[in-house]
Amino acid sequence: MAIPFDKHALAIGACIFTTLAATSVSHAAPGHRGGKSDAHAAKPYGKPGDPSDVRNFVFLNAKGMKFSKETIRIRRGQTVKFILRNKGDQDHEMTIGDAATQAAHRREMAEAQKKGKVGHHAHGHANAIYVKPGASKTLIWTFTKAGVFEFACNIPGHSEAGMKGKIVVTR
């Protein structure tokens, strides 16, 4: 005996599941797995954003040792969804933060490389995403302070080769 089902209810359920799955991972720290995580920790320059508050989208391509933008302008309090597409043939990452955050993350990445664990290093940062060639990842962030901050690929040698830019947050 066949069990009757409502096609419309099934379609609605699939839509809800897809939406929840997409938003639940979009502001986590994809690519930064295991170990201690700060996926919900606020920083002096901002905090992980709520996907429902996104009003601004920033599309960035990573290719070679460059990002497709050098400067990004955002208003304080605005929740931004960064979409990073890796158009190159090597792994890249994007970390947003102040100079101290970038320096600390570069040290972590160098340590991970020594252990052969770049891309799988033991931390989860809400302000960083790691992207394999041909893939895209998103990062949702709310900037709570005006100022000039940075975005950079902190895989050893990448930022030093110029793979970085400025985020100007205005009042």
**pLDDT per residue as tens digits for the range 11-44:** 444 443 333 333 333 333 333 333 345 656 788 8
Average pLDDT over residues 85-112: 94
Contact predicate 72/58, CB 8 Å? yes
Question: Cβ neighbours of residue 3 under 8 Å, at least 6 residues apart?
Answer: none
Choice between 122 and 47, residue whose per-residue pLDDT is larger:
47
